[in-house]
């Protein structure tokens, strides 16, 4: 199975600052079509996860442009610009390159 | 409007079988795949199983021997069965469609 490893944030992050969440995969997530099969989700307390980005850097419908995904085949970053209180929660990366699908362990973002 | 709704028992006896149903509306099961994801209290997300738009099935490596996923396209329902339940299977169980859309989840407690 592909192992997804997420970094830790130095919480809390002051409102208005930027935050970068990292994720590493044990195998390249680049498929033969050239796309990188990496999703980012945000789960706010008491809610279902929300898809933020797919194919590593494509924002899901309705997601603020303050969220941007980037990376290589095995190292990924989700940058959140000008963080706001509503951005608080746990962020998960997920590889959908191959089955079985796997999630990272989550990175908690707290806002000050 | 796309909606997914999980249903099933909130309490299951140890060693028994869990049966969950995900009822979808707003899209066809022959157009998008559906996955089941679970989350133990206070812990991270775990992908369990998926059924593709074409009907192919995929399972979590560790849980594979205990799982069965199927669907009824005429009723827009996806089913998950997990046998030999133990207390560590206590979790919120979500279904997700194409990763954009998630149900609210159903909390399942395994206890005698």
Q: Which of B:6-45 have CB within 8 Å of A?
A: 35, 37, 44-45
Cis peptide before A100 (omega within 30 of 0): yes
Residue A50 has pLDDT above 90, yes or no: yes
With a pLDDT cut of 90, the percent of chain B lying above it is 100
The single-letter DSSP state of residue B84 is S
pLDDT of residue A26: 98
Q: Kindly report, residue by residue over A78-101, the tens digit of the pLDDT.
A: 999 999 999 999 999 999 999 999
The single-letter DSSP state of residue A14 is P
Helix (H) or strand (E) holding A23: strand A19-25
Dihedral angle over CA of A48, A41, B72, B58, nearest 10: -130
Residue A76 has pLDDT above 90, yes or no: yes
Q: Could you give the CA distance from residue B77 to residue B75 in angstroms, rounded to a whole number?
A: 5
Other residues' Cβ atoms within 10 Å of the Cβ of residue B88: 8
Nearest CA in chain A to B60: A100
Nearest CA to CA, how far is B21 from chain A (Å)? 17
Nearest CA to CA, how far is B46 from chain A (Å)? 7
Chain B hits for A94, Cβ within 8 Å: 45, 47, 99
- B46/A contact by beta carbon, under 8 A: yes
Average pLDDT over residues B60-64: 98
Average pLDDT over residues A64-74: 97
Other residues' Cβ atoms within 10 Å of the Cβ of residue B27: 18
Q: Which residues pair with A25 in a beta bridge?
A: A4
pLDDT of residue B104: 98
Chain B hits for A58, Cβ within 8 Å: none
**Interface-testing mutation among B45, B46, B58, B101, with chain A (most A C-beta atoms within 10 A):** B45
- A107/B contact by beta carbon, under 8 A: no
């Amino acid at each position: 199975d592909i192992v997804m490893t997420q970094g830790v944030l130095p919480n809390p992050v002051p409102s208005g600052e930027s935050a970068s969440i990292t994720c590493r995969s044990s195998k390249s997530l680049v498929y033969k079509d050239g796309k990188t099969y990496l999703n980012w989700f945000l789960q706010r307390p008491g809610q279902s996860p929300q898809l933020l980005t797919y194919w590593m850097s494509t924002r899901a419908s309705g997601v603020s442009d303050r969220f941007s995904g980037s990376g290589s085949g095995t190292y990924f970053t989700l940058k959140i610009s000008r963080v706001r209180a509503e951005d608080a929660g746990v962020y998960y990366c997920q590889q959908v390159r191959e089955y079985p699908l796997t999630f990272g362990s989550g990175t908690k973002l707290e806002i000050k | 409007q796309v909606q997914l709704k999980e249903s099933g028992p909130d309490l299951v006896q140890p060693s028994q079988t869990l049966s969950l149903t995900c009822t979808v509306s707003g899209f066809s099961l022959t157009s998008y795949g559906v996955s089941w994801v679970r989350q133990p209290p206070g812990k991270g997300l775990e992908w369990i199983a998926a059924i593709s738009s074409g009907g192919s099935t995929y399972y979590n490596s560790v849980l594979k021997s205990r799982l069965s996923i199927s669907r009824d396209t005429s009723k827009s329902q996806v089913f998950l069965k997990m046998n030999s339940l133990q207390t560590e299977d206590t979790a919120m169980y979500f279904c997700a469609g194409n990763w954009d859309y998630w149900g609210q989840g159903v909390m399942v407690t395994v206890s005698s």
